[in-house]
């Protein structure tokens, strides 16, 4: 049952994330004026706050998956993974925080202020690439050591490469595919993130293939495995075997 916990958590993360995405229509891009941002928030303020609640629950489920994954890592790779997990959850929480704040008093929003806050939120996607690379890199490394399946390493490699490219959205032209918070961040990056995290939960639920995790790889602790047994096969542990030459002269 415990082995299924990361898979259940990954499935919960996927379902909650999808619900959070579809509950509110995509807002105006960075190329739209602040008045459009205000209109969007005013029309969907209640659903935006529900979206933030779903996001918070999804982050709790994701934390479980990341915690189980950390157990497969050690050394510098494990430390990098911890940092990536913290950055991912913190950045996503801050983005949700901004959205919830804007939706709290939509009728009092100033278009210029709404545009500035929305622009800050739009840079969430480009900078989230750093966290994605810190999560995917250690998984690739651990897969080389047999701690994760190779197919998970392939998925992680695709995510890492895409996120390296997605860092260009920091300087991407407004209104283009690589604009901050644009289609590359929202659609392509979001889809790959979801696939990676669900695959990570699935891999964690599978039997551990590490040699040191197999029961038959543990050293034998039976009665014939002690030092006396190695020196004198067939003797009882703790009792020295009789030397036949000792009684030869009697």
Q: What percent of the chain has pLDDT over 70?
A: 82
> What local confidence, expressed as pLDDT, does residue 230 receive?
44
Number of domains observed in the structure of the chain = 1
Residue 16 lies in domain = 2-209
Q: Does residue 217 lie in a domain region? A: no
Residue 137 has pLDDT above 60, yes or no: yes
Q: Does residue 219 lie in a domain region? A: no
Q: Does residue 163 lie in a domain region? A: yes
Distance CA 6, CA 9 (A): 5
Q: Does residue 233 lie in a domain region? A: no
For 159-218, write each residue's pLDDT tens digit: 999 999 999 989 988 888 888 888 898 889 999 999 999 999 999 998 765 555 544 444
Provide the total of helices (H) and of strands (E) in the chain, helices listed first.
Answer: 10, 0
Q: Does residue 226 lie in a domain region? A: no
Q: Does residue 7 lie in a domain region? A: yes
> Over the range 16-34, which residues count as b (16 or more CB within 10 Å of their CB) and which as e?
bbeebeeebeebbbbebeb
Q: Does residue 141 lie in a domain region? A: yes
Q: Are 37 and 27 in contact (CB under 8 A)?
A: yes
Q: Does residue 202 lie in a domain region? A: yes
Q: Is 146 helix (H, G, I), strand (E, B) or coil?
A: coil
Confidence class for position 248, pLDDT limits 50, 70, 90: very low
Q: What region, left, alpha or beta, does residue 132 occupy, with left being phi > 0 and alpha being psi -120 to 50 degrees?
A: alpha
**Residue 78 tokens, joined:** 């494990």
Q: Are 193 and 163 in contact (CB under 8 A)?
A: no
Sequence-distant (≥ 6) Cβ neighbours of residue 48 within 8 angstroms: 24, 41, 99, 100, 102, 103
Task: Record the pTM.
Answer: 0.79
Q: What percent of the chain has pLDDT over 90?
A: 69
> What local confidence, expressed as pLDDT, does residue 225 receive?
46
Distance CA 229, CA 219 (A): 14
> What local confidence, expressed as pLDDT, does residue 208 receive?
67
Mean pLDDT, residues 145-172: 94
């Amino acid at each position: 049952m415990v082995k299924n916990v990361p898979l259940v958590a990954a499935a919960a993360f996927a379902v909650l994330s999808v619900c959070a995405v579809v509950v509110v229509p995509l807002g105006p891009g960075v190329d739209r004026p602040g008045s459009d941002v205000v209109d969007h928030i005013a029309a969907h303020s209640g659903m935006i706050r529900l979206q933030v609640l779903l996001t918070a629950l999804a982050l709790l489920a994701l934390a479980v998956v990341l915690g189980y994954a950390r157990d497969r890592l050690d050394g510098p790779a494990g430390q990098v993974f911890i940092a990536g997990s913290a950055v991912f959850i913190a950045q996503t929480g801050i983005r949700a925080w901004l959205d919830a704040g804007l939706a709290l008093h939509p009728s009092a929003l100033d278009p210029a202020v709404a545009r500035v806050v929305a622009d800050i939120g739009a840079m969430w996607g480009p900078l989230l690439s750093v966290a994605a690379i810190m999560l995917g890199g250690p998984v690739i490394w651990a897969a080389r050591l047999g701690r994760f399946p190779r197919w998970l390493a392939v998925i992680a490699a695709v995510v890492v490469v895409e996120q390296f490219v997605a860092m260009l959205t920091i300087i991407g032209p407004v209104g283009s595919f690589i604009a901050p918070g644009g289609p590359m961040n929202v659609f392509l990056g979001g889809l790959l993130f979801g696939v990676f995290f669900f695959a990570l939960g699935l891999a964690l639920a599978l039997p551990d293939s590490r040699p040191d995790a197999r029961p038959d790889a543990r050293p034998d602790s039976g009665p014939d495995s002690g030092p006396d047994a190695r020196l004198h096969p067939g003797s009882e542990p703790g009792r020295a075997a009789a030397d036949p030459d000792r009684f030869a002269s009697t």
